[in-house]
Structure formats: C-alpha cells, structure tokens
Amino acid sequence: MANFNKVILVGNLTRDPVLSYLPNKTAVVELGIAVNRRWRSADGQQREETCFIDCRAFGRPAETINQYCAKGRPILLEGHLQYQQWTAQDGGKRSKHVIVVEGFQFMDTKPGAARDNASPPPARASEPQEQEYAASSPPESEQPPAPVDGDVPF
C-alpha cells in the first residue's frame, strides 16, 4: 500500500514564533496557527470550529519566519505530520502531532503586518539534513518507495 503524508494549511499565527538553535547551529522555529472551519449543520445553522496546530521549521526558513511573522499574521504552510511522544514531569505519557514545515508563503502584503514592516518574497524551505531530522523523521530506509510510471496508488 502506498503512503502519503502531506499537509497544506492556511491560518493565523496564535503566538509569536520562538526561535532556537540545535547543537549543530541549525535554526528551529516553533509556531502555532489557528485554522477556522465553517459549515452549515443539518438543521441549517451556521457552525464554526477552530483547530489549533503546532508547527516547526528548520534552517533558513525558520529564521525568515521568525523575522517576519508575529501573532495574528496569516500564513500558508506546507509540510508533513509528525507524531511525538514524551514522558511528562508527572510521569504521564504525552503525545501530539506537529506539522514539520517544508514550505511556506506569507498571505498578506500590507505594511505593518510584519515585525519589520517588510514582506519578503514567498519562500520554500529546504529539506533538513538527516542529522537535524534524527529525532523527528524516520530514516530514508523507512520511506515508501517512489511510484513507478503508470502505478496508480488508489
């Protein structure tokens, strides 16, 4: 069976990005976005729900997001889901899904929308190197094989 892990989201930042660096000096930015969904229920009432999503970007894209983004700014993120598990200080098991950003695009161009009142051109994140990914992505040997021409996965 073929596997596919791709996420594309458009939402607003729920907090200012937090930039840090790995021991190998690779930039990592943690950010959160809120994505709204509107629909009409069976009884005809307008409904809305908000999904809050944690995201992470690496390298130069992490630095760009940190420099130009702030709470409330709309952004388009492209990436893949990653499952994380850990043990909390109280000894309980915790887990969550995180979007690992592979590409992004700022959705507004109005002055004053970013921290520096400037909006750079759309950016595409480069793939983090294997050592940066070690704790967050499966090794290439566990990646699904590429489809062969004419091989339809559905």
At 76-118, the pLDDT tens digits run 999 999 999 999 999 999 999 999 999 999 998 665 544 444 4
SS3 call for 131 = helix
Measured CA to CA, the distance from residue 4 to residue 42 in angstroms comes to 32
- Residue 67, pLDDT score: 94
Summarised one tens digit per residue, pLDDT across range 3-60 is: 999 999 999 999 999 999 999 999 999 999 999 999 999 999 999 999 999 999 999 9
pLDDT value at position 108?
A: 81
pLDDT exceeds 60 at position 64: yes
* Residue 68 structure tokens: 């130009």
Provide mean pLDDT across the span 123-137: 39
Count CA atoms closer than 13 A to 8's CA, side-chain side: 2
Q: Give strand ranges (E) for the chain.
A: 7-13, 18-21, 27-40, 46-58, 74-87, 93-106, 123-124
Please tell me whether the overall predicted TM-score, pTM, comes out greater than 0.75 for this model.
Answer: no
Residue 130 has pLDDT above 60, yes or no: no
Sole residue written with tokens 């130069």: 60
Report the pLDDT value the prediction gives residue 139, as an integer from 0 to 100: 41
Domain 7-39+46-83+105-136 has CATH 2.40.50.140: yes
Question: Helix, strand or coil for residue 73?
Answer: coil
pLDDT at 1: 84
Distance of CA 1 to the CA centre of its chain: 26
Q: Is 29 exposed, middle or buried (0-12, 13-18, 19+ CB in 10 A)?
A: buried
Cβ(17)–Cβ(57) below 8 Å: no
pLDDT at residue 131 is higher than 50: no
Q: How far apart are CA 75 and CA 64, in angstroms?
A: 13
Residue 114 near residue 68, CB atoms below 8 Å: yes
pLDDT above 80: residue 124: no
Task: Give me the amino acid identity at 24.
Answer: N
